[in-house]
Amino acid sequence: MTRLPRTLPIRLDPLPGEALDSWLEALAHRLCTTLGDVTSHLGFPVRARSGNHLHDIPSDWTIALREHEAAAVAYASGVPPAVITAMTLAHYDERALRIDPVRRHVDRRVLWGRGRGSRFCPDCLTDSGGRWQLLWRLGWAFACTRHQRLLADCCPNCGRVQRQRPHSGRVIPQPSLCGNPPSQPGRPPFGGCGFDLAGTTTLRLPSGHPALTAQHRLLETIESDITSFGAYAALPQPRLGALTVSEPSPAGF
């Protein structure tokens, strides 16, 4: 961080499993201010060139934070640094994806690494008031086991994959809408169509459906140290080995 952060006037706890960008947007929404105001308040530097040197700024803060960045956000928000870090994809590094630690990119060549974008569960968006789960960004996530339905791949109205890039810093976020709200009254939304993604239709799955079982086991594998289900029961495998064996090629996104 290049500037000392100030403490925020309100405290908003992240939801379990929430992604960093979602929490930042929820903060801005709650404060009725622009996303840029919140990130500036928390000390995030703005992407800019200084001579020929590009600051160490990732394309998306939700991929990974440096230790001092997480500490600054924690200081300003009152949320522990470990919780802040767990909202970034670094939480899944070497478990469900691989992150280039220097460039802070997701390696798309291994473990179904998904460089950008997020799937979503419309019911989860409805229940949470538009808060986005981190695991929806994984190539491994395809169903919501809680609501027993497939995740949506994109906006059903305009076809855009969501969260291909961070939301605009110049407007007050509306986290369950496709794209950014209009920059001024009377203007159209930009970067999306404004559709309420909570209204997206996806296939509902009956209890015990193989897709739900598969999703449950994959998430269990990612969260545990050793895979011991099914084919691996006789000879438990380290997590990365099990995920790599079942990985098709090339990567999907």
| Residues engaged in binding Zn ion (CB under 5 A) | 121, 123-124, 144, 146-147, 155, 157-158, 178, 192-193, 195
Least distance to Zn ion from the beta carbon of 124, Å?
Answer: 3
Q: Are 175 and 141 in contact (CB under 8 A)?
A: no
Report CA-CA distances (Å) from 203 to 34, 208, 209.
35, 15, 12
Least distance to Zn ion from the beta carbon of 252, Å?
Answer: 21
Of 169 and 192, CB closest to Zn ion: 192
What is the rounded distance in angstroms from the CA atom of residue 112 to the CA atom of residue 140?
Answer: 7
What is the rounded distance in angstroms from the CA atom of residue 193 to the CA atom of residue 17?
Answer: 27
Of 146 and 165, CB closest to Zn ion: 146
Least distance to Zn ion from the beta carbon of 70, Å?
Answer: 27
> Collapsing DSSP states into helix, strand and coil, what is residue 134?
helix
Least distance to Zn ion from the beta carbon of 216, Å?
Answer: 13
Residue 250: Cβ-neighbour burial (10 angstroms; 0-12, 13-18, 19+)? exposed
Bridge partners of residue 213, in order along the sequence = none
Of 107 and 209, CB closest to Zn ion: 209
Q: Are 94 and 124 in contact (CB under 8 A)?
A: no
What is the rounded distance in angstroms from the CA atom of residue 4 to the CA atom of residue 76?
Answer: 9
DSSP state letter for 120: B
Give the residue among 73, 183, 89, 180 at the shortest CA–CA distance from 135. Answer: 89
Of 157 and 168, CB closest to Zn ion: 157
Of 206 and 248, CB closest to Zn ion: 206
Of 40 and 164, CB closest to Zn ion: 164
